[in-house]
Structure formats: structure tokens, C-alpha cells
Structure 1
Amino acid sequence: MAVSNTSSTTTAGFQNTSSTTSTNTVTGSQTAIAGNFDQFLSLLTTQLKNQSPLDPLDTNQFTSQLVQFAGVEQQLKMNDTLSALLTLNKATTTTDAVGFIGATITADGATAPLKNGTAYWSVNMASAGTANITVKDSSGSVVRTLTTSLAAGEQTVQWDGSTSTGGTAPAGDYTITVDAKDLAGQAVVAKTEIIGVVDSIDLSGDTPMLKIGTISVAIDKVKKVIKG
């Protein structure tokens, strides 16, 4: 396994290079409002038809009821407008998601696919130092560990699939953990991100998900996009 960065540190199997729609449905709440609206209109009309000529409806009460009538009508129209906006937003989000297909993205996460003998991650070090990198398969079993030097800032870590036993790991999803220390031996933060090519979009949920093999990535987790 080999890890290399701009200072030419190498360990077999890793390389790192510093680079310092679903349809909206009207819910029961709007149905209830519509029902109350129709009921209110029916009661008001009946009240006006059956009021006593000798004791007509009080003007203040009538005005108050008209205000309520207008408020309910406005709320119904507002709900219809909101529903239309949500539908439009869903369609726009879906269109945007489809545009990611074929692009290489960097996103929050630590699990990346080993494909064609290579897996990539982005590691961002708070300061230069050393890191113990552990690679685990989808079942949580450790397949490779190594210690390497990493530069401060963002760098790409590339794994060639070689295992600690000298074999080659099969294609699949692998997760890394990075335990990093600075040059003085103090623990430092090393943030991991995944790198991969979006090959499909999952539209089965409320939010479209970008798919890198079997890995799902929410659009709001994407940090960088490179069009191929």
C-alpha cells in the first residue's frame, strides 16, 4: 500500500497529494380548513336568510363574521400557493440533481467505493503531522492499517486495495478512520471526505440522493464538483 504527498512520503497501497421526486399531497389539515370554510359559509347564509326582520343581525357581529370568512378564504388560497411552490421546488431540485450524473464530487463522509482497484478520500489536516489510517470493510473488519505523514490542509488519499495480509481487497465500500497528531505529538483534527463519480440519482425519498455506487450522498453534503 502506498501513501505519497508533496514531501514524497510513500507507503505501499496508499497515495496522498496535497492540494492546499415525490408528488406533494394535500394533508388533512387543508381538507379540514376547506370543510370548516364550507360549513361557515353555509351557517352564515342560513343565518342571514332566517334572521328576524324585527331583530336583525347585529352589524358588529356580521362584520366580525365577514372578517372570519375572508381570513379562512385567504388561508385556503395561501395553502394552495404554498403547495404549488413546494411542487415547483421539488421539480427544480430533481433537475439539479440529475445534472450531477457523471461528475466527480467531494462530500462529507468517510465511506468510499473501491472500484477498478482504487478508492479515494480527501483528508484535511489542521496542521502537518503523522496519521494512523485504518481501512474497514462494510462489515467493520479491518483490512489495512498504516502510518503516514500528512501535510497541513486538504490532500487526496488514494488506496490501491492492498490488504495487511498481502492480498487484494474485493470491490466494495470501505470506510477510513484517521487518528492524527501534529509534529509535536499533539492530537489534531483530520476531517475526512469522500471522492467519487455520481452514477445515478435516487428519487424515491423526499430529497433526491446522489449515488456513488451504493453510497448515497445528500446534495447539501457536496463540497466540490468536478465535471468530467
Structure 2
Amino acid sequence: MSDERALRVWTLIGEAAADRHGTVAVQDACVACVRALRVSGAGLSAVSGVPGLRLEPVHVVGELSRGLAEAELTSGDGPCVDAVSERRPVLVADLLTVEAQARWPLFTTLGQAARVRAVFAFPLLAGTVVAGILVLCQDRPRMLDEAEQARAGLFASAALALLLSMVTMDGDGEVLAVAALALGPQIHQASGIVAIQADCTVEQALLRLRAYALAADEPLTEVARRVVAHRLRFSPAGG
């Protein structure tokens, strides 16, 4: 029976690829998952851990998921971060609960501003290593039942296989990541620039970028764009 369910998941992913007239790729797992589980959006991030934990957004489906990715990148916490560190799904039925707000104060504030109410983060486990995160979101309070959680787990397994086989292609090749997204690389580029400007480590630079974004009430990606475009400069601490 489990093999039949997995086959059905891959069939849905194949249908999503056929709809866009492309070969099966990571974004199709996100699209198929949204359709199958009837959630508002889905996103997939790769995980890098040296130095420190970093989420590298690869694809999102829906504006709500983009807001969710922005909230986690800006706050540096949230269900995806915990799903990586705990190596298990982190399911949040409502970000407005006292428990959720106490656990992720910055993330829940930013998530609510982006109209996200429920978040379901599934780690993509390659043995004991978390290679990525499949995250689903809803614009209203909701919990996935056991059957839905099992199905989401199958989509996560499929997404892992696609993520591990993902190859960046040049020229006329197919680009797997969404060009308009590019959240992670731009933020890391800006962190490198700020590290040079402020004479600090890259990790300290990322913290300064996050602090600036929160204080200015701006998305972290917009702050990063201004740094990369040389329209925003950071001075050394105390300078």
C-alpha cells in the first residue's frame, strides 16, 4: 500500500511537470503537494550548515510561501529552523497561539504580517543529515490529519530525491530555481559585502542585516538588494 501511495505522489509530480512542459524537477513537488493537500502554498529550501545553519530557498509556490520564506530568513528562527535542528516535522496549526509566539517571537510577528497562520515544516533527511526542508503554509488556522501528514512525508521524500539530483544548467538549460526568488544567494552576497565594510565575520554581518531589516521594518531581501546595489553601506561597529 505504501508503494502505491508513493507511486501516486510521483504521478502527481509528473503531472505538474507536464503542465509546464518540462522535465520533473523540485518545483513540481511543491506544486503537486499544494494541489494534493489543498494548502495555500509550499516552499523548498536546501540546508547548508557551515558556518552555522543557513536555509537556501530553492522554490516557492504562492505569494504566501514567499512571505513565509522572507519571515524565516529575516528572523533567523521559525518552524523550518527547528525542523532542521530537531530532525523531525514541526507542525503549527496557528501562529497566533501563545505557545507559538513565545517559541518564535520574531518569526510569528513577521509571519502574521505576511498573512501566514499555519505552518508545516518537513525535514528532507538523507540518513542523519537534513539536506533541505519542505514547508507548507495556510492562510487560516489548520492542522494536517495523520493521512495528510503521511502524504506530505512522501512528497518530502520525493523532493529530497529531486533536490539531490538537481543540477544548475547554463545556456538553454532549464533553470530549476525561481529567478524572482533568489532569496538566499543575494542575502549571502550582501553578508559578504557588509563583512568587508564593517570589518566583521560573515555571520556577524548577517546579524547586522537582520537587525537593520527589523528596525527599518523592511524585508531582509530588500535590504540585501540595496547593499548589493551599493545604495546602503554599513560602518564598523563603533565607527
TM-score (norm 2): 0.23
Higher helix share: 2
Q: Identify the structure with bigger relative contact order (alpha carbons < 8 Å, sequence gap 6+).
A: 1
Larger Rg over CA atoms:
1
Higher strand share: 1
